[in-house]
Structure 1
Amino acid sequence: MMSEQVYLDLCRHILHNGQDKSDRTGTGTRSVFGHQMRFDLRNGFPLLTTKKVPFRLIWSELLWFIRGDTNIRFLLENNNNIWNEWAFEAWVTSDEYEGPDMTDFGLRRLSDENFAEIYDQQMAEFKRRILTDEEFAAKYGELGNVYGKQWRAWKTTEGETIDQLKNVIESIKNNPDSRRHIVTAWNPEDVPGNMALPPCHTMFQFYVHDGRLSCQLYQRSGDTFLGVPFNIASYALLTHLVAHECGLEPGEFVHTLGDAHIYHNHFEQVEKQLARAPGPLPAIKLQAPEKSIFDLLIEDVTIQDYDPHPGIKAPVAV
């Protein structure tokens, strides 16, 4: 339970001590700059219990990254909708789109029920076409050089590619005491125009000690209520998987945040969550322990003994 408490303490800290700021989405945030949380993975898997967090969405997104995929089709095939809005925005702002005006759909659907219904219809049609039309999916399901591309096929000035994830695993196996076990998603050349969304979790580093693998993530920007619980679980899971691949046990996940913020329209939900008592943390189960991390399927990783409080809905700022 102590692992989850550091997250709840961050939420309280932002609410009580944060600075109110404007933001890219127009929603407004309360934020702090520079915060670190530590999760000892020996004490359980840090999937929040004070609200239900959908593990399958976390795992399918992480698997998408590990595969080096950057098209939402794989996510939709696994009923994962968390990247839809960024692909949808590219579609509705294209010359080929002839449907209803979707300008500022992220905010308008929160305040206009009639528009929200129209938006839902257009999104459903968009998803249908991504899943059934390969040409459409290739053009409008593609998010550009986001995480998976940078992890698995970083493009060099020589036109070659670097598989950062594969290289760091080999480095951990062959030179465990190295201080260079680093994967970065922040590519200054691609950030301005070749990514649907510049990476929020920008760089992670592994550390080996006493047969255990630890991971530290630097995250430039964290939506503390909606996004950060996903990030905690995703990188804790990545630590488990890389540790297993390297014949190590998981150690700590260290989460370092730049701008840690709560959106103004999430305050009520955060207060509701803070009123709840944390429960015992669940455990990760590898259903196919003989498989390489690069060969895993959705069904190969599951969560055990997860008994959270009910989920708390909140709008996503796009």
Structure 2
Amino acid sequence: MTRHPEFQYLDILRTLVEHGDRRKDRTGTGTLATFGSMMRFDMSDGTFPVYTTKRVYWKTAVKEMLWFLTGQTNIRTLLEENVRIWTDWPLANYRSATGSNLSQEEFEAKILADADFASEWGDLGPVYGKQWRRWQAADGTEYDQVADVILLLRNDPGSRRMLFHAWNVPELKAMALSPCHMTYQFFVAGIGDEVPRLSLMVTQRSSDMGLGNPFNVAQQAALLAMIAQQVDMQPGELIWTGGDVHLYLDHMHLAETVLSREPRPFPKLHFARKPDGIDDYKIEDFVVTGYDPHPAIEAPVAV
């Protein structure tokens, strides 16, 4: 019997719990960490690798990916989609700068109600989407890395230069959070076949395996499916590689609970339509069937 692919994730968690190097970290929370991991997920049969040992809110993850693709950097657009996963950083900045004890709910309400307040306090700096879609060179020229990759996939699918990344050194200090998932590289197999197979390898310098990684894998799988559809290819493999792979010390209960559970079948993904371009996808286009996970597990976000 073929081993469930989610065991790759569980194996990493188990290694962290049993052998992880105990470390101090940027957030002050503390982690158990290891260096260098890989997982491979075959998506060729429509499989959507959304972990099942705890519920992953895949719609939120995909909405974040769609937001990245817009090139926007302000949380107001996310909040309009009821996505709150980036609020912690600008809220912490606001509280530090003003001495306010405004609650998250009050802060988000002000972001939504007041465009000027959102402009001043809701921007995250030149994070992922800015780098993917509007990378700015020293001479002011902007580069749309995602569009360039799609163009290469259509015109030169054997290229070894089909990638985009977000680690823009001069702009790192202006970002609310330095890019964790840094490099997205594409590979086409079966060039010349009726339907070539498109694979994606994501290199992640830092991965929070309790909360971040389940989101990241789901949204990266969604991106692979979107781009494959746009270039008339079949999704192949999503290959995830991690550098500093870690478990926050206050996520131990999450890891232990997940490790006590048996993975269930991954869901399937297909699209309700073929949008005109990569900028035209909406969450309603993602049709996911057969997702039956174990219950969600609450855990704090380290900021």
Q: TM-score, normalised by structure 1?
A: 0.90
Superposed counterparts of 1:133-212, under 5 Å: 133-191=114-172, 193-210=173-190, 211-212=196-197
> 1:283: Cα distance to partner?
1.2
Q: Deviations over 1:136-191 (max 9, x none)?
A: 11111110100000000000111010000000010111000000001011001111
What is aligned with 1:310?
A: 295
* Partners of 1:55 and 1:303 within 8 A in 2: no
Superposed counterparts of 1:55-74, under 5 Å: 55-74=58-77
Whether 1:22 aligns to 2:24 is: yes
Q: For 2:33 and 2:152, how far apart are their aligned partners in 1?
A: 36
Q: Which runs of 5+ in 2 are unaligned?
A: 191-195
User: Percent of aligned positions with the same letter in both sequences?
Assistant: 43
Query: Aligned to 2:171, what secondary structure does the other structure show?
Result: coil
> 1:98: Cα distance to partner?
5.2
Of 130, 135, 139, which aligns to 2:111?
130
What is aligned with 2:207?
A: 222
Superposed counterparts of 1:243-258, under 5 Å: 243-258=228-243
Give every structure 1 segment of 4 or more consecutive aligned residues whose post-TM-superposition deviation is greater than 3 Å. Answer: none
Query: Aligned to 1:230, what secondary structure does the other structure show?
Result: helix
Q: Deviations over 1:100-133 (max 9, x none)?
A: 3xxxxxxxxxxxxxxxxxxxx6211110111010
Q: Which runs of 5+ in 1 are unaligned?
A: 101-120
> 1:284: Cα distance to partner?
1.4
Count the aligned residue pairs: 295
Of 1, 11, 18, which aligns to 1:9?
11
Q: For 2:79 and 2:255, how far apart are their aligned partners in 1?
A: 28
What is aligned with 1:262?
A: 247
What is aligned with 1:85?
A: 88
Q: For 2:10 and 2:292, how far apart are their aligned partners in 1?
A: 18
Calculate the aligned-residue CA RMSD, in Å: 1.2
Whether 1:40 aligns to 2:42 is: yes
Q: For 2:236 and 2:208, how far apart are their aligned partners in 1?
A: 25
Q: TM-score, normalised by structure 2?
A: 0.95
What is aligned with 2:33?
A: 31
> 1:42: Cα distance to partner?
2.5
Q: For 1:270 and 1:307, how far apart are their aligned partners in 2?
A: 19
* Partners of 2:230 and 2:274 within 8 A in 1: no
Q: For 2:99 and 2:235, how far apart are their aligned partners in 1?
A: 51
